[in-house]
């Protein structure tokens, strides 16, 4: 186990000191998550009036401050109580003026919301957008396209009944959205409603008044909340690796939809394709079919396409996709209509508006309309690696099943469950991001740990595999996972001298348990390890912290006559003291 071969897994030595196990002790240093709540308006913050529900400016923040489940007294405004996952979520509210009814929201508002996310992107770990339900699916789709290279969680939510009224769904949706946004890095725009986080650009409003108002008929939920919170990581898209987050600054307004119906007049169709229209979403029957026997209808489409108008084909059906199996659909394709497969109308319209503002050539827009750029469309994929289908594992399962008299599939699942974490940790330690992706696709939890409770994040940090670390973070791996010695990935990165990994973990709210910071700092000082002393102080260690007999790292270094460590401790101690005095002054 102690081999020095290249590529071997480096495992830090056992940590001295008390090995605490109580929940309160293990969570005492859990980092806060900072979330920006962008309150655009909508039913969730309305108040009843003689004329019905109406927006109430400056009401929401004061209302939430008075609720113990929304703000814990004694903490900065606004802070949720400590969660079962060990985090206190701090949030601020950016309230729009005036507050908007979602029926009045348009492209300028989508651009405003996305620009606000960009403006505050570096300050907050996640974003929650409060919005009316009527056009929420459109806004969720638009934001998914406008936000390019997204690496943080954006959740849009609202309610069917104002939060301040009894029997409202508003409070559950608000707290659920905050919980998801504050605890997990899900680099997508999601829509949270009725205990489910749905992919934003897959959503449709399916119920005008019920609490289960939204659904994604062609895609399963990303997160479900019940007695437990289940994140379905294999359904979540990877965040952008290395590319800078940015927001598109324009959308084409020259787009529209045309919903076919039996007996539609040609003059209506002709009018829809008149200038200045540049793109049309054609909502067709069934699997993408239209009136193929009406040659003049097809001629109108052909002429429009020849003039440079992009025509995209979406089905009117709630579930299913545009297919080329029927002659009527093939005829539309020949007229220049591009199939959108299982894209919703909401996604197709906002995507088309986004693409037309980015690309001048009709061919480019048509190509991207048929491509999956934000998870909005289901593409036919080649078979991927699956542990359950692995021949070697299958043969072991067959042998075990024969001996035990059990079902082969159940035995296979048992083996996969046992091997998955081991393979994941091994891949992380070697920086094999391709294998990590395959394993997570096979539904192995990115935070799964080995027998010492060391997660893939620990191993990637300890071995300086920053690409693997970045990938695991993008997949929602726990940056603050605790191993059996109370060590976190950040502590491993510091101990093994991987500053780039440590910086990445700190950027994503990584922390070190305070008792471990103290013991490591004292030990480094006692051993004269000036480099480790410097790294520990650089990433949050405080040389003025004391051990059980009130001795600091400076005491230890001086007593051991370690000149370099003494100087470093003195410098960092002086710097911390100066900052503290400046802050208090």
Residues involved in catalysis = 43, 133
Specify the DSSP class assigned to residue 18. -
* Crossing angle of the two packed helices 408-430 and 466-474, in degrees rounded to 10: 130
Q: How far apart are the first and last CA of the chain?
A: 54
Residue 102 counted as an annotated binding residue:
yes
Query: Quick one: which of 397, 398, 439 has its CA closest to 422?
Result: 439
Encode burial over 501-538: b for 16+ CB neighbours within 10 A, e otherwise: bbebbbebbbbbbebbbbbbbbbbbeebbbebbbbbbe
Encode burial over 114-152: b for 16+ CB neighbours within 10 A, e otherwise: bebbbeebeebbbbbbbbbbbbbbbbbbbbbbbbbebbb
- Report how far residue 453's alpha carbon sits from residue 484's, in angstroms, rounded to the nearest whole number: 6
Dihedral over alpha carbons 319, 322, 328, 332 (to 10 degrees): 140
Give 233-236 contacts, CB < 8 A, sequence gap 24+: 233/440, 233/443, 233/445, 233/446, 233/475, 233/476, 234/440, 234/441, 234/442, 234/443, 235/199, 236/186, 236/187, 236/188, 236/475, 236/476
Across the strands, what pairs with 192?
Answer: 197
Task: Quickly list DSSP for 527-546.
Answer: TT-HHHHHHHHHTT--TT--
CA torsion sign for 75, 78, 82, 86 is negative
- Report how far residue 348's alpha carbon sits from residue 371's, in angstroms, rounded to the nearest whole number: 11
Specify the DSSP class assigned to residue 322. -
Q: How many residues does the chain have?
A: 585
Specify the DSSP class assigned to residue 552. -
Residue 133 counted as an annotated binding residue:
yes
Dihedral over alpha carbons 45, 106, 321, 148 (to 10 degrees): -90
Tokens of 384: 């991927």
Specify the DSSP class assigned to residue 169. S
* Rg, Å, the chain Cα set: 28
Tokens of 382: 């080649």
Across the strands, what pairs with 311?
Answer: 280, 337
| Whether 475 contacts 233, CB under 8 Å | yes
- Report how far residue 14's alpha carbon sits from residue 354's, in angstroms, rounded to the nearest whole number: 54
Tokens of 381: 């994929």
Query: Quick one: which of 438, 390, 384 has its CA closest to 413?
Result: 390
Q: Binding site for substrate: residue ranges? A: 102, 133-134
């Amino acid at each position: 186990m102690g081999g020095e071969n290249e590529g071997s897994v480096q495992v830090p030595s056992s940590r001295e000191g008390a090995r605490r196990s109580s929940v309160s002790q293990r969570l005492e240093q859990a980092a806060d998550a900072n979330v920006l709540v962008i309150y655009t308006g909508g039913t969730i913050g309305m108040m009843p009036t003689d004329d019905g529900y109406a927006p109430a400016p400056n009401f929401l923040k004061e209302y939430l401050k008075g609720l113990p489940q929304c703000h814990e007294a004694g903490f900065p405004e606004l802070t949720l109580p400590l969660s079962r996952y060990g985090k206190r979520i701090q949030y601020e509210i950016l309230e729009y003026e005036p507050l908007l009814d979602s029926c009045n929201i348009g492209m300028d508002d989508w651009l405003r919301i996305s620009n606000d996310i960009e403006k505050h992107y570096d300050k907050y770990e996640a974003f929650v957008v409060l919005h009316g339900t009527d056009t929420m699916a459109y806004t969720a789709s638009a934001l998914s396209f406008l936000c390019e290279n997204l690496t943080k969680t954006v959740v849009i939510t609202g309610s069917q009944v104002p939060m301040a009224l009894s029997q409202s769904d508003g409070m559950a949706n608000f707290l659920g959205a905050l919980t998801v946004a504050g605890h997990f890095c899900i680099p997508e725009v999601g829509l949270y409603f009725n205990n489910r986080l749905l992919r934003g650009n897959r959503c449709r409003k399916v119920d005008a008044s019920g609490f289960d108002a939204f659904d994604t008929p062609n895609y399963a939920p990303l997160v479900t909340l019940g007695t437990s919170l289940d994140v379905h990581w294999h359904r979540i898209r990877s965040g952008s690796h290395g590319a800078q987050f940015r927001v598109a600054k324009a959308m084409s307004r020259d787009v529209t939809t045309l919903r076919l119906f039996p007996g539609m007049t040609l003059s209506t169709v002709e009018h829809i394709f008149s200038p200045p229209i540049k793109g049309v979403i054609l909502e067709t029957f069934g699997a993408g079919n239209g009136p193929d026997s009406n040659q003049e209808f097809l001629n109108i489409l052909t002429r429009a396409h020849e003039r440079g108008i992009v025509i995209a084909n979406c089905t009117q059906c709630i579930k299913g996709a545009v297919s080329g199996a029927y002659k009527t659909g093939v005829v539309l394709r020949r007229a220049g209509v591009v199939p959108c497969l299982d894209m919703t109308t909401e996604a197709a319209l906002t995507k088309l508006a986004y693409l037309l503002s980015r690309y001048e050539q009709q061919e480019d827009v048509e190509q991207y309309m048929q491509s999956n750029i934000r998870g909005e469309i289901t593409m036919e994929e080649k078979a991927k690696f699956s542990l359950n289908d692995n021949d070697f594992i299958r043969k072991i399962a067959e042998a075990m099943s024969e001996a035990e008299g059990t079902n082969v599939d159940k035995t296979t699942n048992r083996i996969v469950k046992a091997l998955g974490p081991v393979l994941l940790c091994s891949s992380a330690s070697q920086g094999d991001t391709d294998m990590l992706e395959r394993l997570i696709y096979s539904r192995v939890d990115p935070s799964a740990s080995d027998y010492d409770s060391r997660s893939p994040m620990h191993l990637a940090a300890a071995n300086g595999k920053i690409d693997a670390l970045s990938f695991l973070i993008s997949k929602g791996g726990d940056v603050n996972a605790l191993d059996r010695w109370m060590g976190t990935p950040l502590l491993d990165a510091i101990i093994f001298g991987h500053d780039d990994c440590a910086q990445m973990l700190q950027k994503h709210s990584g922390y070190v348990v305070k008792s471990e910071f103290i013991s490591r700092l004292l030990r480094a000082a006692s051993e004269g390890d000036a480099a480790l002393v410097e790294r520990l102080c650089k990433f949050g260690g405080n040389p003025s912290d004391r051990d059980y007999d009130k001795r600091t790292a400076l005491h230890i270094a001086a007593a051991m006559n370690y000149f370099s460590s003494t100087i470093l401790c003195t410098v960092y101690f002086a710097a911390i003291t100066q900052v503290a005095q400046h802050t208090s002054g």
